Structure 1
Amino acid sequence: MLISTAASVWAQTPDGAALYKENCAACHDAGADRAPSRDTLRTMPAERVLAAMESGPMVTMASRSSTAERRAIAEFVTGKPFGEPLNTRPAAAAMCTSAPGEFNSTAGPAWNGWGVNDANTRYQDAPTARLTAADVGRLKVKWTFAFPGDQSAYAQPAVVGGRVFVGSPAGIVYSLSAATGCIHWFFAAERAVRTAVLIGRIRANGQLRSVAFFGDQNATAYAVDAANGSLLWKKKVEDFPGARVTGSPVVHNGRLYVPVASGEETAAATPDYQCCRSRGSVVALDASTGKQLWKSYTIPEEPLPTKKSPTGTQLWGPSGASVWNSPTIDVRRNVLYVGTGNNFSDPPTRTSDAIVAIDLESGKVRWVRQMTASDAWTVACRLPDKTNCADSNGPDFDFSSSPILVTQSNGRRVLVAGQKSGMVHGLDPDADGKVLWSVKVGEGGTMGGVQWGSAADQSNVYVALSDIGRITLPNTLGTDADPNRGGGMFALRVATGERVWYTPPPGCGERPRCSPAQSAAVSAIPGVAFSGSVDGHLRAYSTTDGSILWDFDAVRSYQTVNGVPGRGGSFNGPGAAIAGGMLFTNSGYVNAGGMPGNVLLAFSV
């Protein structure tokens, strides 16, 4: 089922000439080394230029462009149309043929939302996982689903009521059969959807209704009927240009809590940009109606003019402290916890690179625990022209992963937070975030340390290390990955931070566009922790000693259930969703030198 209110999004045609001027002309019009001239490009078919951007030498340069934008550039530079238009509407053969029946969100095993529970442990218990350490070595691909036209597959799948709910870079959210991968319904959001879908229950007209909640890269939150995909409401949670919802929303007691981040630190790469005025926030909405109940900014004060840049452009501050992660709910304290990112401009604030506790009812900040001070950073800080790099020029040590609330077997609680600094921290949630321990597991960096998240049981936290080494490329904001840096898997004691074991990364060998970095979120079941790597492998580690129990190389072509050409690539961003004896995970992540891919993989024994 396609929702007509969003269908117009697919009809928008980007301006190929403007995109070429902004992203490509610096090399192709200036005769840069190995960059084909405009005259040479005009001799090529559009398909060849598109292939260069999606699987050839231009992958990194084009990694920030959408599918439609890449196609518009290819048609402009060649002066030729594509032989076949891009069609993202699923074929009739991909749709489920049997009547779906009544959708029951409470039936069967589930991995709901980002972290599987309010505490964001990313740990699935044995009765729900229905997958044991002894089974893992026998996991095989049961079916694959491909996202048409996409180079990345970066939304966390959710498993509820016998269905898999998953978003895509094209902005299409799918409801699939967990058993076969056929499509129950699909919905077109306004922009790309990186968040996990969370299924909640709301009361409408006196009856309980199952609703799919998610957010997009245009800072819009959505509620659609989980049974049929019809739009119930949508709400823009931030109007500042470049605002986005990357962290997955969560539902608690009839409220939807939406984290808000910003792409302004990338916009600041342009020297004449007035950096910077956006602020991170968490927004509470009525889950039934979308009405805003409160909005809590991570920086309380509004940005003001500060000084002029060397180019005479007005600068602003304070700014930044985005919330990139899914909130963690603490029912006992009636608060939610989020990690914040770096500031974008001076002056730095006490709420950046911090764990923040926010009252669930009022939105009031209860406490803040900053772990890295004076961290104001934009993309300009790693470019030759540093006009919009703040004087503090911080290290970009965000908390991009969700805090994990662990209740140990003795009843004591620890809030575990991994940081891009390469540090993992244990805080006391019952003592205003008092630091219990801090342990260094990596060097850290702009894509270093703990990137998208760890998993925890009652005893240990299982930490994958990113530490991507970034190789700067001329005339582009994109970077390639160092094949010799990053990666590794750790187990730390929740109580003390003591290292239990460490397993080094296997390495890339001769694989192109490879990094051993383990940036993707970890998922765990009793006895096993799963970690995907930028090298294209998904591995299962013994939680006892860190030995690798299973290793699946996803970099290959797949025959998909929806008939769309599919290929696996790097694992980055989301982790696996495990429920009912099956494991679901996306493969493909082209940013930061990763390998492109566009598939959702479903494994079973």
Structure 2
Amino acid sequence: MTLAVAMAPLGLTSVAQAAPAASASWMAGGYDASNNRSQPGETAISAANAAQLTPKWTFSTRGDVSATPTASDGVVYFPDWGGLLHAVDQNTGEPRWSKPVTDFDGRTAAVSRVSPLILSSTVISADLSGAVFAVDKATGAKRWSTQVDNHPNAVITASPVEHDGVLYVGVSSQEENAAADPSYPCCTFRGSLVALNAATGAVLWKTYTIPDNGGKTDAYSGNAIWGSPTVDVADGLVIVGTGDNYTVPESVEDCIRDGGTDCTSDDDYFDAVVAFRMDTGAIAWSSKTFAHDTWTAACLNVPSGVDWCPDPKGPDFDFGSGGNLLTVTIGGKTRRLVGFGQKSGIYWAFDAATGEPLWHTLVGPGEFLGGMLWGTATDGHYIYVTTNDSGGQPYQLTQNGVPSGPRITSGSFAALDPATGTIVWQKADPHGGTTKDLAPPSVANGVLYVGSMSNAVSDATMYALDARTGATLWSYASGGSVVGGPAIAGGMVFWGSGYGRLSPVGFSGNNRVYAFALPPTNTQPQLVYASPGATGSAAGTSCATATVKTINAAISKVASGGRVVACAGTYKENVVVTKPLSLEVSGNVVIDASGLINGIEVAAPNVTVSGFTVQNAIGEGILVKGVNNATLSVNIVSGNNRGTGSAYYIACVTPGDCGGGIHLIGSSGSKVVNNTVRGNAAGIVLSDETGPATGNLVSGNSVQDNAGSGGVILAGRNQAAAPGGVRASGTAGVQGNTITANTVTGNGLTGGGGGIVLSASVAGGAVYGNTVTANTVSGNGDAGVTVVSQAGQDLGGNLVNGSNTIGTNNVKAGSQQTTGVRVATVSPLSIQVTGNNIANDHFGIRTTGPVTVSGAAANTFTGVDVSVSAA
């Protein structure tokens, strides 16, 4: 059914999509309205030099980034799952503007997951509530917003496209998942394609992909459009792929159960490729790919009482991908081909003008989260697909049309001949096993960019492959699962990281957008000044003549191993250090991270950060993650990691305690010296999520009034450190660190944390061989030094010695429980506690469980009721 809306002539030349300049732009999620995810103008990055790609800048967001960024006129646009839409300088990573999606659609906690469409002066985007909106490119100010579907579960999941002043957008739905709720009346949603006036947002026409159901739950529903439309200008068509039915009439189910193969209505366009007339929305042709497919999440493992799973249920073989439009020669005849990847694992090719099936190729196993999900690419030479093996079904890789490679159970990447569908090459995800691959590929100048959903933050999840052979040219560990493809523009690659939406499946979140580029051929300066009042035309030789206004821009500009000097003032940014350098201050420098995830992030080895005041971050004040030999000195870190969960942050497991004032994750050989860390949820944290945390020095710090989990915390959080309690040296573990000469007071008074805490939070966690010496520890919520071990962990061989001065601690427990040193375990544990001055506690040393404390008699106990107590 098509709903037409009367309208005046468009006259929209002012908002028409500009033709992308060679290499400089990426205007839509699929590059342009042909949706081929290919950059035809790229000449800088090639298969010969892609191995040299390095981060030019990194932008931290409020949540995962799963959409392909878009770029034009020196600005990159992208949304995040924290509910913001960003515009960022393409060359420096400096923010131009960041706006809540709720400003555009008026909905609380609104989120967009689609790639923004860039027009001449406008950015078009959409949300997860069925609204499409336009904003000013330069300012982010709202221009218009249109609700294109009023169903309560309607969503927009893919980038709109534009031609000749008209927007085309598919409407999808979350009702398929809502059906798992026993109280939900399933189902009434109807998929549709909508055409809008690009200048005003007025609806021009709307065509449904399913018969009218009158709002009844016993009729046809479903047929969502998940991917971007593809515009075939030559034939005046807009072509989409559709999803499955959620429900069908009982008579249709009876027909299917009886073995019927033509049971559904002709206008029930499920699992279909459908071509609409651009001017009217009338359906020109369609091709269904299966006889029936009725499915909802009620068919999965759901609570009792849910009876919405169709009988018989289908395989859930949606077309989640938008189509690719290209010209091929088949049998000596030139054809315009439109091709779609499907969750069945099949890539289908049709004549774009007529819908005639040309070929189809099974590339990998299909399932409800399998096959090709979010897009495919073509440069005209090959068609490139990413296949997800969600069920871990063994299948054999194919080379030159012959199944001849190894049998795998992971996702894979493949190149198909456009004329025949022959698989030219196929490559397993390098991580093997059952690693998933959902991200759409992108291609430019002989380089194919593919993402991996591997959930280990130290794993490479971004790859550049040789598009002709599949050979790996480059890889990068982005810190999270990658479900979005990159944009390539202006000799740079823009790519988002993180997808924690399906964490039970094993995917990991992140909050980063990376800009990768080749190393500069010119010499970068060894010293760059940043100042809030900088002007671009100054000499750049002092604070008075600084040329950049943000610290991130200075980091982008300086040579590796150089110096960045932040001049006096307040910087409202999440600083990310992506190369070895010294980050220094001149005068009083404040990083105010209000509303941002972290204050300073160190993402490169051999970095020094000195003299900053870092405050008000949702997450960490200063974070060192997965890199070694950092030096953090003479910084004041206060009021951080107090996220409440209202602002999405992947590390904020406990509301109000999202990490540390200073947090070293998987870092070795680093120094945290002479800092003041106060008023955070936690003080200084060393942990091992990404690898071993060894040989670090924490010395001379004032750690005060961090109200949550404690003052200085050594936290074993990696199961690989000691599987079954047996130490696996080198893989993980918090070991061999020295905590000395710190003043640790008044911590944990709200959350019950101790002064200096050694503990593991997972089975297999390990915190061992660390030395705690010459610290002054008093007035903390738990014991001055707290060591806690559970079954299957290794907390052996730690030393608490060398004149620690331990005053009254465990103050939350009251005067009869105040404790200097507390050691609790369920498995045998040996620890040395000797040579310390422990005063004014009820218990000097208190143990619980099979603990052996050596050297206890050599401590000095003053005003202590019970020197050593074993419970």
Query: Would the TM-score normalized by the shorter structure come out above 0.5?
Result: yes
CA gap of 1:357–1:288, structure 2 versus 1, over 3 A, is same
Q: Following the alignment from structure 1 to structure 2, what is the Cα–Cα distance between the partners of residues 105 and 434?
A: 30
Are the counterparts in 2 of residues 485 and 517 from structure 1 also a CA contact under 8 Å? Answer: no
How far is the alpha carbon of 1:552 from its aligned partner?
1.5
Q: Following the alignment from structure 1 to structure 2, what is the Cα–Cα distance between the partners of residues 461 and 118?
A: 17
**Correspondence for 1:524:** 443
Q: Which runs of 5+ in 2 are unaligned?
A: 1-17, 103-109, 250-263, 394-407, 455-459, 519-871
1:344-359 to structure 2, matched below 5 A, reads 344-347=246-249, 350-359=268-277
CA gap of 1:281–1:328, structure 2 versus 1, over 3 A, is same
Q: State the SS of the aligned residue for 2:310.
A: coil
Greater fraction helix: 1
Q: Following the alignment from structure 1 to structure 2, what is the Cα–Cα distance between the partners of residues 316 and 154?
A: 35
Q: State the SS of the aligned residue for 2:469.
A: coil
How far is the alpha carbon of 1:470 from its aligned partner?
8.3
Q: Following the alignment from structure 1 to structure 2, what is the Cα–Cα distance between the partners of residues 421 and 196?
A: 25
Q: Following the alignment from structure 1 to structure 2, what is the Cα–Cα distance between the partners of residues 434 and 392?
A: 29
1:268-347 to structure 2, matched below 5 A, reads 268-303=179-214, 305=216, 315-347=217-249
Q: Following the alignment from structure 1 to structure 2, what is the Cα–Cα distance between the partners of residues 452 and 466?
A: 10
**Correspondence for 1:94:** none
Does residue 1:253 correspond to 2:164, yes or no? yes
**Correspondence for 2:779:** none
Q: Following the alignment from structure 1 to structure 2, what is the Cα–Cα distance between the partners of residues 442 and 571?
A: 20
Q: Following the alignment from structure 1 to structure 2, what is the Cα–Cα distance between the partners of residues 496 and 278?
A: 37
**Correspondence for 2:291:** 373
Q: Which amino acid letter does the alignment assign opposite residue 387 of structure 1?
A: D
**Correspondence for 1:383:** 301
How far is the alpha carbon of 1:264 from its aligned partner?
0.4
Q: Following the alignment from structure 1 to structure 2, what is the Cα–Cα distance between the partners of residues 444 and 585?
A: 27
How far is the alpha carbon of 1:408 from its aligned partner?
3.0
Are the counterparts in 2 of residues 369 and 433 from structure 1 also a CA contact under 8 Å? Answer: yes
Are the counterparts in 2 of residues 107 and 161 from structure 1 also a CA contact under 8 Å? Answer: no
Q: Which amino acid letter does the alignment assign opposite residue 310 of structure 2?
A: A
What is the aligned counterpart of 1:169 among 81, 88, 102? 81
**Correspondence for 1:101:** none
How far is the alpha carbon of 1:508 from its aligned partner?
5.1
How far is the alpha carbon of 1:107 from its aligned partner?
6.7
**Correspondence for 1:121:** 36
CA gap of 1:118–1:277, structure 2 versus 1, over 3 A, is same
Q: State the SS of the aligned residue for 1:137.
A: helix
- Greater shift in the superposed pair: 341-350 or 495-504: 341-350
- Greater shift in the superposed pair: 536-545 or 247-256: 536-545
What is the aligned counterpart of 2:473 among 539, 545, 549? 549
**Correspondence for 2:377:** 455
How far is the alpha carbon of 1:129 from its aligned partner?
5.4
Does residue 1:405 correspond to 2:328, yes or no? no
How far is the alpha carbon of 1:130 from its aligned partner?
3.0
**Correspondence for 1:143:** 57
**Correspondence for 1:495:** 419
Q: Which amino acid letter does the alignment assign opposite residue 141 of structure 1?
A: P
Q: Following the alignment from structure 2 to structure 1, what is the Cα–Cα distance between the partners of residues 99 and 76?
A: 14
CA gap of 1:105–1:600, structure 2 versus 1, over 3 A, is farther
Q: Which amino acid letter does the alignment assign opposite residue 582 of structure 1?
A: M
CA gap of 1:116–1:316, structure 2 versus 1, over 3 A, is same
Q: State the SS of the aligned residue for 1:413.
A: strand
Does residue 1:578 correspond to 2:578, yes or no? no
Q: Which amino acid letter does the alignment assign opposite residue 494 of structure 1?
A: P
- Greater shift in the superposed pair: 346-355 or 278-287: 346-355
Q: Following the alignment from structure 1 to structure 2, what is the Cα–Cα distance between the partners of residues 290 and 470?
A: 44
What is the aligned counterpart of 1:424 among 347, 350, 360? 347
Q: Following the alignment from structure 1 to structure 2, what is the Cα–Cα distance between the partners of residues 364 and 524?
A: 33
Are the counterparts in 1 of residues 125 and 132 from structure 2 also a CA contact under 8 Å? Answer: yes
How far is the alpha carbon of 1:550 from its aligned partner?
1.3
Q: State the SS of the aligned residue for 1:463.
A: strand
Q: Following the alignment from structure 1 to structure 2, what is the Cα–Cα distance between the partners of residues 425 and 154?
A: 25
- Greater shift in the superposed pair: 154-163 or 378-387: 378-387
**Correspondence for 1:464:** 386
How far is the alpha carbon of 1:123 from its aligned partner?
0.9
**Correspondence for 1:595:** 508
**Correspondence for 1:538:** 462
What is the aligned counterpart of 1:224 among 128, 135, 148? 135
**Correspondence for 1:130:** 44
State the aligned residue count: 450
Q: Following the alignment from structure 1 to structure 2, what is the Cα–Cα distance between the partners of residues 406 and 119?
A: 8
Greater fraction strand: 2
TM-score by length of 2: 0.50
Q: Following the alignment from structure 1 to structure 2, what is the Cα–Cα distance between the partners of residues 129 and 596?
A: 33
How far is the alpha carbon of 1:155 from its aligned partner?
1.9
Q: Following the alignment from structure 2 to structure 1, what is the Cα–Cα distance between the partners of residues 134 and 84?
A: 14
Q: Following the alignment from structure 1 to structure 2, what is the Cα–Cα distance between the partners of residues 303 and 532?
A: 42
Are the counterparts in 1 of residues 20 and 26 from structure 2 also a CA contact under 8 Å? Answer: no
Structure with the greater relative contact order (CA < 8 A, sep ≥ 6): 1 or 2? 1
Q: Following the alignment from structure 1 to structure 2, what is the Cα–Cα distance between the partners of residues 232 and 470?
A: 47
Does residue 1:263 correspond to 2:163, yes or no? no
CA gap of 1:541–1:107, structure 2 versus 1, over 3 A, is closer
How far is the alpha carbon of 1:128 from its aligned partner?
3.6
Q: Following the alignment from structure 2 to structure 1, what is the Cα–Cα distance between the partners of residues 98 and 214?
A: 40
Q: Which amino acid letter does the alignment assign opposite residue 396 of structure 1?
A: D
Q: Following the alignment from structure 2 to structure 1, what is the Cα–Cα distance between the partners of residues 57 and 247?
A: 47
**Correspondence for 2:745:** none
Q: State the SS of the aligned residue for 1:503.
A: strand
Q: Following the alignment from structure 2 to structure 1, what is the Cα–Cα distance between the partners of residues 352 and 237?
A: 10
Q: Following the alignment from structure 1 to structure 2, what is the Cα–Cα distance between the partners of residues 373 and 154?
A: 33
Kindly provide the CA deviation profile for residues 70-90 of structure 1, in whole angstroms up to 9, marking residues without a partner as x: xxxxxxxxxxxxxxxxxxxxx
Are the counterparts in 2 of residues 374 and 392 from structure 1 also a CA contact under 8 Å? Answer: no
Q: Following the alignment from structure 2 to structure 1, what is the Cα–Cα distance between the partners of residues 512 and 320?
A: 24
Q: State the SS of the aligned residue for 2:181.
A: coil
Q: Following the alignment from structure 1 to structure 2, what is the Cα–Cα distance between the partners of residues 113 and 302?
A: 34
CA gap of 1:253–1:105, structure 2 versus 1, over 3 A, is closer
Kindly provide the CA deviation profile for residues 148-185 of structure 1, in whole angstroms up to 9, marking residues without a partner as x: 2x2x2112200111100011112211110011111111
Q: Following the alignment from structure 1 to structure 2, what is the Cα–Cα distance between the partners of residues 217 and 451?
A: 18
Superposition misfits of 4+ residues, deviation over 4 angstroms? 104-108
How far is the alpha carbon of 1:507 from its aligned partner?
2.3
Are the counterparts in 1 of residues 67 and 485 from structure 2 also a CA contact under 8 Å? Answer: no
Q: Which amino acid letter does the alignment assign opposite residue 112 of structure 1?
A: M
Are the counterparts in 1 of residues 247 and 310 from structure 2 also a CA contact under 8 Å? Answer: yes
Q: State the SS of the aligned residue for 1:265.
A: helix
How far is the alpha carbon of 1:187 from its aligned partner?
2.0
Report which of the two structures shows the higher radius of gyration computed on alpha carbons.
2
Q: Which amino acid letter does the alignment assign opposite residue 498 of structure 1?
A: T
CA gap of 1:438–1:544, structure 2 versus 1, over 3 A, is same
Are the counterparts in 1 of residues 227 and 375 from structure 2 also a CA contact under 8 Å? Answer: no
Q: Following the alignment from structure 1 to structure 2, what is the Cα–Cα distance between the partners of residues 304 and 116?
A: 37
How far is the alpha carbon of 1:316 from its aligned partner?
2.6
**Correspondence for 2:67:** 155
Kindly provide the CA deviation profile for residues 419-458 of structure 1, in whole angstroms up to 9, marking residues without a partner as x: 000111111112x211111111111111100011111122
**Correspondence for 1:179:** 91
How far is the alpha carbon of 1:585 from its aligned partner?
0.5
TM-score by length of 1: 0.72
Q: Following the alignment from structure 1 to structure 2, what is the Cα–Cα distance between the partners of residues 296 and 106?
A: 29
